[in-house]
Amino acid sequence: MFTSLQRLVKKRPTDPYLLSSPGLPSLHDKVTLLKHQTWPEYGLANSRFVVFDTETTGFCYNKEDEIISLGAIAIENGLITDSCFSQFVNPNRLIPSITTEITGITNEMVANCPDVLTVLDQFLEFKGLSPLIAHTASFDLNFINIKLRRYCGHRLNTPTIDTLLLAQLLFPVEENLRSLDSLAQYYGIQPTGRHTALGDALITAQIYTKMLDSLWDLGIKTTYQLANHLIFKHLI
């Protein structure tokens, strides 16, 4: 299943949204550029967003757990594209057996893979100046930001939409519609590649595109309008 998802990955060296040129290859330079970036108002249905997900050895980002896979897929003008990013990460530690059972990722699969800083450098090149989307985004960003703080001195400065918060906004009393699985079932989405980084990113992307009509009905068409609604509802 994961192999079939990986076939979606395509390199687009002429992508106009790329963050850097070959003259700006380092992760530190990318993160510094983003730190000073002024972010405009993005249309939710007519901009490029990058939906991403991580798989990790566990839940403790500030202790011993590490990223073992990072996947992302681009949405442009409200449509899911075939522009994807997917990479295993060598965590420089053993992957617990329970994690292998859930994700299918083994120690052998990551043994010869790049380290997390190399993969984050590649991911930020793919992301470029596009905002991010994730489900329970704080979990994934915590794992990324702890590495960026240590290496670059500051965290990732990028607007991020959390589909969990969108679910709380659109379904305020339906507390059963909070997980990725429950939202996929509600929207009739087949959860292909569940518990793989690219697979979960694709499911999240499909959920987001399904939510756009409901956001539009609420008069929410831009990232600024969305932020204002989330603040008004005390969701952020």
Q: Which residues are catalytic?
A: 195
Pairing of β 160-162 and β 132-134: parallel
What lies within 8 Å, CB to CB, of 177 at 6+ separation is 167, 171, 183, 186
Q: Are strands 79-88 and 160-162 parallel, antiparallel or unpaired?
A: unpaired
CA atoms of 54 and 183, how far apart (whole Å): 19
Contact by Cβ (8 Å): 119, 148:
no
Distance CA 137, CA 121 (A): 19
Please state, in angstroms and rounded to a whole number, the distance separating the CA atoms of residues 232 and 215.
15
Distance CA 117, CA 129 (A): 19
Residue 23's CB is within 10 A of a number of other CB atoms, namely 6
Residue recorded with tokens 């295993």: 88
Compute the distance between CA of residue 156 and CA of residue 124 in angstroms, rounded to an integer. Answer: 10
- Report the distance separating Cα 104 and Cα 41, nearest Å: 39
Angle at 148 between CA 144 and CA 152, to 5 degrees: 170
